[in-house]
Amino acid sequence: MPEQLRKKYSKQFKIDAIQMYENGEKSMAQVERELGITKGLLAKWREELLQAKDQADAFPGNGNLPDSEGRLRQLERENAQLRQEKEILKKVLGIYSKDER
């Protein structure tokens, strides 16, 4: 039995679909039918776009984070690594200072 593949839409397609609904005289359901997308998907995209801080952060795709969140996570990882290195250096310094007594 063949697996049903999920259809993927580009960021620009999603933005254009939302603008088509917001600028036109058509209902959300009519726009969805015309574009051949699943019922309720346009509302989901619209909500995601409204929640994004910036249009560039909306629809990062395939488990990717928006640029601002991705950078924040990277800095948090680096911070955690630096804290670990600092703790190791403290322990080493403690060991050497005990040996000198």
SS3 assignment for 15-80: HHHHHHHHHCCCCHHHHHHHHCCCCCHHHHHHHHHHHCCCHHHCCCCCCCCCHHHHHHHHHHHHHH
- 81: DSSP letter: H
pTM exceeds cut of 0.85: no
Let me know how long the chain is.
101
Determine contact, residues 45/18, Cβ cutoff 8 Å. yes
Position 65 scores a pLDDT of 61
38's torsion region: left (phi>0), alpha (psi -120 to 50) or beta? beta
Instruction: Compute the mean pLDDT over every residue in the chain, rounded to the nearest whole number.
Output: 83
Q: pLDDT tens digits for 65-97?
A: 666 777 888 899 999 999 999 999 999 998 888
Tell me the pLDDT tens digit for each residue of 50-64. Answer: 887 777 667 766 555
Average pLDDT over residues 26-34: 91
